[in-house]
Amino acid sequence: MGRLAIWAGCIGVAGLALATPAPLTAEPYSWPIPAWMPPPPVPADNPMTTQKVDLGRHLFYDARLSADGTVACVSCHVQDRAFTDGREVPVGINGTFGIRNAPGLANAGYVPMLTWANPHMTSLEFQALMPLFGDNPDEMGNNGQEAALFARLAADPYYATAFPDAFPDRPAPDLFTVTRALAAFQRSLISVDSPYDRFKYWGDKDALSDAAKRGEQLFFDHRFECYHCHSGIHFTENLQTSRSAFAETGFHNTGLYNIDGAGAYPANNTGLMELTGDPADMGKFRTPSLRNVALTAPYFHDGSAATLDEVLDHYRQGGRSIATGPHAGHGATSPLRDGMIVGNSATKAEIADIIAFLESLTDTGFLTNPAYADPWPADHPAVADRVLP
Amino acid sequence: MKYIAFAAALAATPAMADQAVSINFAAQIAGKPFSCTETYMGLGAKGTAVKGIDYRLFVSGAALIRADGTAQPIALDQDGKWQLDDLALLDFEDGTGGCATGTAEINTTLRGTVPEGDYVGLGFALAVPFDKNHGDPTLAPAPLNTTAMFWNWQGGYRFVRIDMVPVDKAADGPKGWFLHLGSTQCPAASKTEAPTAPCKNPNHLPVTFAAFDPATNVVVIDPAAVVADADLTVNAPETSPGCMSFPGDADCVSVMGKLGQAYGDLPAGPQQLVTMR
């Protein structure tokens, strides 16, 4: 009961977060967060409303967002996998493989730079253009086809009222409204109710197993240094909230590759260097959040670790060794490896405890929250040809 | 060069009379006019037969040049569609044939005015100016809202998009050999703030013709010389299909210099994409 009361109290916080007055018809959006938690920042041109979030949810699950009606956002971001797809790399239109692992969307609104390593991706609104219109690789295949895309959406009876409800001043599907609605829905995807949250923030000492409690102590221990990067409320140093004075970001080379002895990563996955051109940025990728991490395998930017055991073994060795093939090399000897990746002497029992702790970050309410679920009937044209992972 | 005076129309103002100017562009592949349905023979190091599936360019900063070498910027007609400030999108594909990402509309000229005067030459750049290249494309006016020219991963637009597909492309091979020119490595660029530093590789392609008469001359675009030493049948592993300006792509090594760009340790050569006739 105490929790419910506090959650209800957060409606007031949401009201303050709206930078611009919402239209009279708009219902103020109520953040699904406890009162102690600040909501994510909201761009001035995209205030949260219940209508817009609901429109965004319909768009998120609508495969008509792709040129051939097969790929929806959910085709790579599935709720019960914490909005990942279980694959090393996602698959877009015409069976086109992506280049980097589909990131989970829990708490995406708190992430100041989206995707794995791109300083240009500073808002969910802007990021939505990539899957919609990107062609290297193709994801939803709409490059150059925006008129057809918006016509498909405008023809649907639901959207005929949902767009005007969400955007009274700009009531049609277009580059602005579609990206704003998708961003509003993603901003609503908040996961802060795992057993660890109940243990840590709500005082429920029985919420964690003994193994998870031991794992917590190891996770926050200098022997393992996990928390130096996986820090804060979302277990990543990449964080912005509506109370942040500034956004915090963190990118690291963890020694996954060392192809040339000088720290090279595979040519199509050089991390932050691809965008900055700074050789020192080779192999630097954004620290991902660990919330729901037990469900988001495979791991790393290229999905190259199948299990948490593999991930922790990589950190135990202080870098990954690849014996043969085009990516062969010893990550532990990379001159570009982050100084925090020092290797450790974890025992099997300790690794099992850390994994128990990581599993306690699974928020089953988030995975089953009907507010995040597919709103379309199974026989609706929005989903008739939709492919799921 | 002929001059069309509008002095009568502007008699009410003391301003210097303007003359209309139109610069015509022709898109070709290997000397043949571009068409979405045509096959072009003998491209690249292997003499590959290709189809062209997209062909668009951004032109900016166009100016007529006086005999004394000074430049007179062309004031482009603000048509709300192709031309914005001193920027224009040229679009040579009509959405037919293999141009699946295209549209029916085409635009092959720059249209504007210059003060009445004597002009002998033409200058322009294939580029989106820095101050327009990093805005929010969902709010941008036409033509900067054309998704076909979006290059959001790089935080900007493609300046040149010439997409070619070998006729005998392997089913499991790269989707084509695509020539994209744009700025890369713009570290501070973001949606909401202008970059604080110029891009490391702006990749603007400036063009000057000392003698150019808009009434009789045409600007000719043709990628054949640019890709002459590239093998269009292959794609370097773990790189974009063709050459998309990205550093470290073996497919770009013989190409970027011929677009007038330095590339890695390689110096810029004379650009070979744009000529006139």
pLDDT tens digits for range A22-77: 444 678 899 999 988 999 999 999 999 999 999 999 999 999 999 999 999 999 99
A66-81: b (≥16 Cβ within 10 Å) or e: bbebbbbbbbbbbbeb
In B, which residues are within 8 Å of A19 by CB distance?
none
Tokens found for residue A150: 């918006």
Cross-strand partners of B43: B48
The closest alpha carbon to A229, from A254, A212, A246, A205, belongs to: A254
Give the DSSP H or E segment for A176. helix A175-187
State residue B2's pLDDT score.
40
| B273 at A interface, C-beta within 8 A | no
A270/B238 Cβ within 8 A: no
State residue B15's pLDDT score.
58
Strand B39-43 versus strand B32-33 pairing type: unpaired
For residue range A278-327, what is the model confidence (pLDDT) as tens digits?
Answer: 899 999 999 999 999 999 999 999 999 999 999 999 999 999 999 999 99
Same domain assignment for residues A53 and A175: yes
A22-41: b (≥16 Cβ within 10 Å) or e: beeebeebbbbbbbebbbbb
Same domain assignment for residues A177 and A283: no
Percentage of chain B beyond pLDDT 90 is 74
State residue B197's pLDDT score.
65
For residue range A83-135, what is the model confidence (pLDDT) as tens digits?
Answer: 999 999 999 999 999 999 999 999 999 999 999 999 889 999 999 999 999 99
Q: Quote the CA–CA distance of A167 and B112 in Å, as a whole number.
A: 37
User: Does any domain span residue A44?
Assistant: no
User: Does any domain span residue A198?
Assistant: no
In B, which residues are within 8 Å of A138 by CB distance?
175
In A, which residues are within 8 Å of B184 by CB distance?
277
DSSP-derived 3-state class of residue A376: coil
User: Does any domain span residue A105?
Assistant: yes
Burial class of residue A284, CB neighbours in 10 A (0-12, 13-18, 19+): buried
User: Does any domain span residue A276?
Assistant: yes
User: Does any domain span residue A3?
Assistant: no
Least confident of A101-115, B10-24, B87-101: B10-24
The closest alpha carbon to A177, from A282, A55, A84, belongs to: A55
CB B48, CB B30: distance < 8 Å: no
State residue A5's pLDDT score.
37
Residues 6 or more apart whose CB falls under 8 angstroms from that of A96 comprise: A137, A138, A139
The closest alpha carbon to B90, from B138, B46, B57, belongs to: B57
pLDDT tier for residue B187 given thresholds of 50, 70 and 90: low
Residues 6 or more apart whose CB falls under 8 angstroms from that of B54 comprise: A144, B93, B99, B101, B102, B148, B161, B162, B163
| B184 at A interface, C-beta within 8 A | yes
If one compares A3 and B24, the residue with the highest pLDDT of the two is B24
The mean pLDDT of B6-26, rounded to a whole number, is 71
If one compares B174 and B92, the residue with the highest pLDDT of the two is B92
Q: B85 to chain A nearest CA, in Å?
A: 22
State residue B125's pLDDT score.
98
- Reported in sequence order, the residue ranges of chain B that DSSP labels E, i.e. its strands, are 18-29, 32-33, 39-43, 48-65, 71-73, 75-76, 83-84, 87-91, 109-115, 121-126, 150-151, 156-157, 160-166, 177-181, 205-209, 219-221, 242-243, 274-276
User: Does any domain span residue A11?
Assistant: no
State residue B136's pLDDT score.
87
A146/B139 Cβ within 8 A: no
pLDDT tier for residue B116 given thresholds of 50, 70 and 90: very high
Domain boundaries, chain B: 16-276
Percentage of chain B beyond pLDDT 70 is 90
Q: Quote the CA–CA distance of A162 and A104 in Å, as a whole number.
A: 27
Winning range, highest mean pLDDT, from A118-132, B14-28, B145-159: A118-132
User: Does any domain span residue A2?
Assistant: no
End-to-end CA distance of chain B: give it in Å, rounded. 15
B190/A176 Cβ within 8 A: no
Burial class of residue A227, CB neighbours in 10 A (0-12, 13-18, 19+): middle
Tokens found for residue B29: 């592949």
State residue A328's pLDDT score.
97
Least confident of A6-10, A278-282, B273-277: A6-10
Q: Quote the CA–CA distance of A222 and A237 in Å, as a whole number.
A: 17
Query: Which residue among A343, A358, A376 closes a domain?
Result: A343
In B, which residues are within 8 Å of A267 by CB distance?
236-239, 248-249
Same domain assignment for residues A162 and A282: no
B150/A119 Cβ within 8 A: no
For residue range B194-239, what is the model confidence (pLDDT) as tens digits?
Answer: 555 678 899 999 999 999 999 999 999 999 999 999 999 988 888 8
Same domain assignment for residues A265 and A317: yes
Determine the length of chain B.
277
Tokens found for residue A8: 């209800």
Q: Which domain holds residue A256?
A: 225-343
| B196 at A interface, C-beta within 8 A | no
Q: What ipTM, to 2 d.p.?
A: 0.81
Same domain assignment for residues A59 and A187: yes
Same domain assignment for residues A172 and A265: no
Which amino acid does the sequence have at A276?
A: T
User: Does any domain span residue A13?
Assistant: no
State residue A9's pLDDT score.
36
Mean pLDDT of chain A: 92
CA A121 to each of CA A115, A174, A188, B236: distance values in angstroms, whole numbers, following the listed order: 7, 20, 18, 27
Q: B37 to chain A nearest CA, in Å?
A: 18
For residue range A314-356, what is the model confidence (pLDDT) as tens digits?
Answer: 999 999 999 999 999 999 999 999 988 989 899 999 999 999 9
Q: Quote the CA–CA distance of A23 and A166 in Å, as a whole number.
A: 9
CATH (domain of A169)? 1.10.760.10
- Facing A276 at nearest CB: one of B137, B187, B249: B187
- Which of A136, A177, A273, A327 best tests the B interface by mutation, with the highest count of B CBs <10 A? A136
For residue range B38-52, what is the model confidence (pLDDT) as tens digits?
Answer: 999 999 999 999 999
Percentage of chain A beyond pLDDT 90 is 85
Task: Answer yes or no: is pLDDT of A230 > 60.
Answer: yes
Structural domains counted in chain A: 2
pLDDT tier for residue B190 given thresholds of 50, 70 and 90: very low
State residue A340's pLDDT score.
87
Mean pLDDT of chain B: 89
State residue B10's pLDDT score.
42
pTM, rounded to two decimals: 0.88
DSSP-derived 3-state class of residue A49: strand
